């Protein structure tokens, strides 16, 4: 658990650990909640996102719900479809993520497949076509199973891709930690043989990514470029934010000057401006690239870009298994964590 004020500390004490204890290092943010906004904190939160004991504490806390609602469209499909309708009314396309990762057996992976098939069935009557696609994490399809995980994931994700193609839309394979990149790109290559618009995600923080971007910047290839949300060792990834930003800008160059369909997955004003410069420089048509932002984050900017004539897609997560997603959002931005801590401090 994350504790700051004495009030929160005593609240946590009544609920058992483990805790990450934060101390003040800078001017107190609003409501006097002191937060250590540092790489160490981000690292702790990312580690926590994989710890079952902490998961139980955070998920079992009613007040967490209010904060989760800001980032997650709901626990069930109807709530997610309501969010899709509201975004569509604002001219914003969507990619839906049925939350869940790291399944431990084949039957759980089959449940993921079934949830996505139900999701696609739910989307069909909205008639949004390509403006409503889905994003999948292969770990939720069994990729990490000890025996034949990659094959299980490839087999179980295929019906989802087929169903998406049949209703005129597509699937993007999210990218998880660096150990999974080769496997995910391998599954992607297999899917693209029959379903060429299946999308990939590349994480600029990884040293290998500029090469991957070059390989994927080819006609028909949809690539979402993100900075990367996982804790990675220095051997695999840039550790400093400035280096990640520089790498992101370089990969944008590769993708926007290349022949594919780039999808800039970022909230960063500097990177959004870089995309706009590259679009102007290369003369890309408005339907040959898109911006992607997470549900609930910089919503004004989403609408502004859409009104300016750009394709904007919100990544809309929903489902009961929101813990890992939620912890990554807390880890990547101190303001998100402050919001969470304020909710704890003001709980009624």
Which sequence positions are flagged as catalytic?
174, 224
Which residue from 132, 163, 201, 337 is in contact with ligand FAD, where contact means CB under 6 A? 201
As measured in angstroms, the least distance from the Cβ of 139 to ligand FAD is 11
Which of the ranges 13-21, 49-57, 158-166, 226-234 carries the binding residues for ligand FAD, by CB under 6 A?
226-234
Residue 111 main-chain phi, psi, to 5 deg: -65, -35
β-pairing, 222-226 with 93-98? Answer: unpaired
Contact flag: residue 250 with ligand FAD (CB under 6 A):
no
Contact flag: residue 178 with ligand FAD (CB under 6 A):
no
Contact 143, 104 (CB under 8 A): no
Neighbour tally for 274: CB within 10 Å: 19
- Rounded (to 5) percent helix, strand, coil in the chain: 55, 15, 35
As measured in angstroms, the least distance from the Cβ of 268 to ligand FAD is 4
Contact flag: residue 297 with ligand FAD (CB under 6 A):
yes
Question: For residues 191, 186, 292 and 44, what is the CA-based torsion angle, rounded to 10 degrees?
Answer: 140
As measured in angstroms, the least distance from the Cβ of 72 to ligand FAD is 14
Contact flag: residue 312 with ligand FAD (CB under 6 A):
no
CB neighbours of 147 closer than 8 A, spacing ≥ 6?
none
Which of the ranges 13-21, 160-168, 225-233, 340-348 carries the binding residues for ligand FAD, by CB under 6 A?
225-233
Neighbour tally for 23: CB within 10 Å: 8
CA distance linking residue 210 with residue 302, whole number of Å: 27
Contact flag: residue 106 with ligand FAD (CB under 6 A):
no
Binding mask 135-174 for ligand FAD (x = CB under 6 A): ---------------------------------------x
As measured in angstroms, the least distance from the Cβ of 168 to ligand FAD is 21
Q: Which is closer to ligand FAD, CB of 1 or CB of 138?
A: 138
Handedness of CA 142, 148, 151, 152 (dihedral sign): negative
HEC per residue, 120-139: HHHHHHHCCHHHEEEEECHH
Which residue from 221, 292, 302, 311 is in contact with ligand FAD, where contact means CB under 6 A? 292
Which residue from 116, 230, 325, 339 is in contact with ligand FAD, where contact means CB under 6 A? 230
As measured in angstroms, the least distance from the Cβ of 71 to ligand FAD is 9
CA distance linking residue 91 with residue 303, whole number of Å: 7
Which residue from 42, 184, 221, 266 is in contact with ligand FAD, where contact means CB under 6 A? 266
Q: Under DSSP, is residue 92 helix (H, G, I), strand (E, B) or coil?
A: coil
Judged by the rule CB under 6 A, the positions of this chain that interact with ligand FAD are 174-175, 201, 203, 224, 226-230, 265-269, 292-294, 297-298, 315, 332-333, 336
């Amino acid at each position: 658990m994350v504790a700051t004020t004495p009030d929160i500390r005593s609240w946590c004490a009544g609920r058992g650990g483990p805790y990450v204890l934060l101390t003040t290092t800078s001017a107190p943010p609003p409501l006097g909640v002191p937060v250590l906004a540092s790489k160490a904190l981000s690292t702790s939160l990312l580690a926590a996102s994989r710890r079952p004991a902490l998961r139980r504490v955070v998920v079992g806390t009613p007040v967490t719900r209010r904060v989760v609602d800001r980032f997650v469209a709901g626990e069930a499909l109807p709530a997610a479809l309501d969010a899709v309708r509201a975004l569509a009314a604002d001219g914003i396309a969507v990619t839906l993520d049925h939350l869940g990762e790291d399944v431990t057996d084949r039957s759980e992976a089959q449940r993921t497949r079934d949830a996505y098939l139900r999701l696609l069935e739910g989307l069909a009557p909205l008639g949004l076509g390509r403006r409503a696609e889905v994003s999948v994490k292969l770990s939720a399809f069994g990729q990490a199973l000890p025996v034949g995980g990659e094959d299980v994931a490839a087999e179980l994700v295929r019906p989802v891709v087929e169903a998406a193609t049949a209703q005129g839309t597509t699937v993007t394979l999210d990218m998880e930690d660096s150990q999974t990149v080769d496997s995910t790109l391998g599954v992607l290559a297999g899917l693209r043989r029959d379903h060429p618009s299946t999308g990939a995600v590349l994480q600029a923080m990884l040293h290998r990514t500029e090469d991957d971007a070059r390989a994927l910047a080819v006609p028909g290839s949809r690539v979402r470029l993100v900075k990367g949300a996982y804790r990675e060792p220095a051997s695999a990834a840039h550790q400093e934010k400035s280096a990640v930003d520089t790498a992101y800008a370089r990969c944008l160059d590769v993708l926007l000057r290349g022949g594919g369909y780039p999808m800039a997955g970022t909230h960063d004003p500097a990177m959004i401006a870089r995309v706009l410069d590259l679009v102007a420089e290369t003369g890309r048509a408005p339907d040959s690239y898109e911006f992607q932002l997470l549900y609930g984050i910089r919503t004004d900017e989403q609408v502004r870009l859409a009104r300016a004539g750009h394709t904007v897609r919100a990544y809309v997560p929903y489902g009961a298994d929101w813990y890992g997603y939620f912890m990554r959002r807390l880890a990547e931005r101190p303001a998100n964590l402050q919001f969470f801590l304020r909710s704890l401090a003001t709980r009624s």
